[in-house]
């Protein structure tokens, strides 16, 4: 069969790559074309467009790049019509994907959504478009099934979280090998810095994250370089107290003592690696003011959302200061708060279910053809 998969960010590329592998196991004749990244291409997808050309952060950034977004939507529609897939599979990236889904449904294409848009966080009214345009939805967060089925009468399948498989399938180095390979200090404990995957957010996050390094000289700070950004971009942030690794976020977390993490999928990844963390977020002021008025959640990190309580501290916008970051990091380096966080992480993992999300999603996609 012919599959067209659309992912628009680094996390979507990761989950899309594992879905491609699962589809190819179950369908030996699978022909897959995709919007995605290097991982999806390596897994066997024919790349129509790289997500690096599509990732825009915040309301103002989106507005500034409207011509590019319109051009990408137009190209995607033409490419789908030329490819003539048996099914289109959308992965997160709702602003783009729901527009394509509306068009695709009218054109008679089968539409599947893997990794739901976060309409439970904002713009819940989009449920009407999802009911109209999406034939089958596969969700990865435990509370999403009740949200869709009990609140909105829209049946979905909970497949578990694909991060569990992604982590288990990653080759990890022990402390000595990881430090030696990357030229890190052989003894100092590592504090991982995960500043995001887009230039705008990385610049904002790192400025604050790096402001506390002088207060923790017994630790070494290591920046996790995003695959979406060139290594040269990070050079201006590096000094004697800060190191850098590229495309090694999982090995870094595996060897980290604590982490400062930009809100997003990385907060959940950090928790699954059992690394105590402080969650950070600072956006464009106008974008933040708009977001604050449409997001209805008590928490922004996936860890706290899934657990429905504050497990990890969230420092947001004006709260993300050098003083606050120093205070909160100190709390999780040792002591009762660190131990409680690690205990909560165990509960979190149980809530997410076991591995096999990609396989379950692939099986359901085939069953629903």
The pLDDT value recorded for residue 39 is 94
Q: What is the pLDDT of residue 284?
A: 55
Residue 190 φ then ψ, to 5°: -95, 135
pTM: 0.82
State pLDDT tens for residues 131-166: 999 999 999 999 999 999 999 999 999 999 999 988
3-state helix, strand, coil in the chain (%, to 5): 55, 20, 30
Please tell me the CATH code under which domain 2-161+353-367 is placed: 3.40.50.2000
> Which pLDDT does position 296 carry in this prediction?
53
Q: Are 130 and 98 in contact (CB under 8 A)?
A: yes
Most distant CA pair in the chain: distance in Å? 61
> Residue 258 — very low, low, confident or very high, per pLDDT cuts 50/70/90?
very high
What's domain 172-351's architecture? Answer: 3-Layer(aba) Sandwich (3.40)
Q: In this structure, are residues 253 and 259 in contact, taking their beta carbons and an 8 Å threshold?
A: yes
Query: What mean pLDDT comes out for the span 22-30?
Result: 96
pLDDT band at 115 (very low <50, low <70, confident <90, very high): very high
The first and second tokens of residue 239, run together, are 């000094």
**Cα distance between residue 303 and residue 264, in whole Å:** 10
Q: Could you give the percent of the chain with pLDDT greater than 90?
A: 74
CA dist., res. 309 & res. 267, Å (int): 15
pLDDT at residue 264 tops 90: no
pLDDT per residue as tens digits for the range 283-332: 654 454 444 444 556 788 999 999 999 999 999 988 999 999 999 999 99
Intervals of CATH 3.40.50.2000 along the chain: 2-161+353-367, 172-351
Tracing tokens 């009468």 back to the chain, one arrives at 153
Is residue 122 within 8 Å of 295, Cβ to Cβ?
yes
Burial of 237 (0-12, 13-18, 19+ CB in 10 A): middle
- Interval 11-34 mean pLDDT: 95
CA dihedral 190, 196, 199, 202 (to 10 degrees): -50
Taking the CA atoms of residue 154, residue 354, residue 163 and residue 304 in that order, the dihedral angle to the nearest 10 degrees is: 70
């Amino acid at each position: 069969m012919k599959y067209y998969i659309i992912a628009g960010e680094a996390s979507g590329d990761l989950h899309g790559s594992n879905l491609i592998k699962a589809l190819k196991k179950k369908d030996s004749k699978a022909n897959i074309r995709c919007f995605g990244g290097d991982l999806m291409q390596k897994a066997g997808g024919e790349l129509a467009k790289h997500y690096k050309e599509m990732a825009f952060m915040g309301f103002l950034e989106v507005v500034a790049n409207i011509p590019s977004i319109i051009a990408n939507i137009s190209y995607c529609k033409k490419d789908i019509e030329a490819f003539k897939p048996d099914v289109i599979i959308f992965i997160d990236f709702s602003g783009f994907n729901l527009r394509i889904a509306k068009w695709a449904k009218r054109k008679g294409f089968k539409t599947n959504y893997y990794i739901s848009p976060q309409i439970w966080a904002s713009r819940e009214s989009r449920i009407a478009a999802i009911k109209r345009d999406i034939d089958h939805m596969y969700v990865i967060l435990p509370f999403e099934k009740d949200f869709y089925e009990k609140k909105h009468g829209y049946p979905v399948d909970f497949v578990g979280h694909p991060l569990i498989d992604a982590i288990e399938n990653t080759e990890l180095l022990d402390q000595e090998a990881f430090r030696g390979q990357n030229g890190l200090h052989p003894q100092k404990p590592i504090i991982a810095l995960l500043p995001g995957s887009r230039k705008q957010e990385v610049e904002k996050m790192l400025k604050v994250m790096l402001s506390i390094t002088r207060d923790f000289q017994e630790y070494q700070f290591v920046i996790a370089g995003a695959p979406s950004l060139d290594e040269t971009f990070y050079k201006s942030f590096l000094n004697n107290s800060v190191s850098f690794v590229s495309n090694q976020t999982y090995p870094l977390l595996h060897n980290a003592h604590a982490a400062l993490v930009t809100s997003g999928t990385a907060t959940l990844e950090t928790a699954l690696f059992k690394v105590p963390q402080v969650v950070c977020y600072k956006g464009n002021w106008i974008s933040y003011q708009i977001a604050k008025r449409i997001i209805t959640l008590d928490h922004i990190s996936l860890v706290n959302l899934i657990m429905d309580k504050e497990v990890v501290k969230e420092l947001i916008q004006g709260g993300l200061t050098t003083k606050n970051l120093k205070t909160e990091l100190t709390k999780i380096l040792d002591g009762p708060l660190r131990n409680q966080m690690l205990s909560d992480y165990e509960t979190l993992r149980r809530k997410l279910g076991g591995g096999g999300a990609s396989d379950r999603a692939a099986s359901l996609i085939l069953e629903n053809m």
